[in-house]
Structure 1
Amino acid sequence: MGADNQTWVGEFILLGLSNNWSTQVSLFILFLITYLVTVLGNFLIVLLIILDSRLHTPMYFFLTNLSLVDVFYATTVVPQMLVHFLAAHKIIPHVSCAAQLFFSLGLGGIEFVLLAVMAYDRYVAVCNPLRYSVIMHGGLCMRLAVISWVSGSVNSLLQTAITFQLPMCTNKFIDHISCELLAVVRLACVDTSSNEVAIMVSSIVLLMTPFCLVLLSYVKIISAILKIRSTEGRKKAFQTCASHLTVVILCYGMAILTYIQPRSNPSVLQEKLISLFYAILTPMLNPMIYSLRNKEVKGAWQKLLGKLSGLSSKLAT
């Protein structure tokens, strides 16, 4: 292949979801509302955890990290998508595309590791409750959180570097809603076997390994719950894990189907839907799941609303 063809394009064009103007306006309104709900919901969860001393526990420390990851992930993808819904030319500069890939891939990896850490926390809470505070001390929680953030960031840096070293020739049309890893790799005009191997290795390290740890934790948790004699005791033990388990099912399922076998070439529509799922639906649902299915969070909400109601009454009088 000639040297003239192996060039790096200065900008990309994201094809997005639709070319129809009225459809794009409708999607803009829908996703704007969803994004605002996502940001508000997650920040309210973080604020609630900070204000209520009863929530100053390892579980809610990790939930704070998860909520921040969700906000950052949505912010990495959605605002640019909203702009493109109303733009005539859906251009994204090369540097911006690389930055978007780095942050979205990194935050996704951080979330997977965090979910495995949270599964370990639930395992200790159910299987070793008397030593929970000793095992899950502040130093360990901080180290686990740092490992989550560093591992996701390092993996993302490596993947972004090797992806944007690929010559894209004259290809600049990304048939996606964002600069997603597989969509960008497909633009290359050279053999991408080494990139596919790197994606596979990354998937095993940051997706399948945490997923297996989650499965192992829940096998032990379920085994411990089944040994509890009272129905009320089993119900209470399961409730401590229900919210986390729901989020795990939401987050891991589609990611495994997408990234664990990059050669399987999932349809472009499937990739777009999965990206929307992670950028919009999951970050919006996570605070709702933890608010509606967790007694401690609901109790904290009631306490906070009671205080606000009392303050309003005093101000009114």
Structure 2
Amino acid sequence: MGGQFGQIAFIVWRESVEALLVVGILNAWLAREGAVRGLAGGRAWLWGGVGAGLAVAAALAVALLFFAEAFGDEGQDWFQIVMVFLAAGLILQMVAWMRRHGRNLKRNLESGLSAASARASGWGVFVLATVAVAREGSETVVFLWGTFATMSGSALVAPIAAALGGLLAAVATYGLLQLGGRVLSWRTFFQATEIMLLFLALAMLTTGVDRLIGLDLLPTLSKPLWSTAWLLDDGTFVGGFVAALTGYRARPDLTTLLLWVSYGLLVWRLVTPPKAITLPVREVRS
């Protein structure tokens, strides 16, 4: 259970920092260029977009709740399994997206604001803020749904507290990042959290496979191949915490091992930049 709370806190922390980064870039540009570019009231459009983005994420949460309630017990098991795999896929997509666009994120956002200012329209600012916040908020909703869906009543107090803790940690982290490389650089932050996200995606995939095995929809293919319970048992509090954040299993079977190997190959492909193709140059004879 502690590992689930760790997942919640980490996801809210990471996604909130990214959302704060986007909003901070937009706000800084408006403070510097807004009046000059004819967007004197741009901040009102910005915060309106932030509110709209949060509303979109909240609407997604309500929609997921509606669909979950529409299924029976067996249907909810399937729904949660689908959400776990979807969340893992979104994490991989997010890592890939940040690797492609993270370096030019500020430039791209400021280009969008420049285009909006050319039309002297606050709607461009509103749409940029809405899309950015809705994207981070919606990803967070999907990531957290599988955990929250299994809890009810007073059991929700702890995960909500973990989410609030993650949000407060995000604000503090953003403050440190704004100080620049003297304390913590954006590059270091994204590199470290990228590794943590990749492990978290593996944890979600392993959980999904465990559930499919529990429903007799996947075979284990073997008895446990080895046991590291003597070193770290995933049935203990500390071991369960590590398992929830990394996908660790003390007694993995062949199906789990094949998942780990396949995932490792996929991540290697994801993080390894493609090699440039050099075409042979034919000698031209006169």
Query: How high is the TM-score relative to the length of structure 1?
Result: 0.28
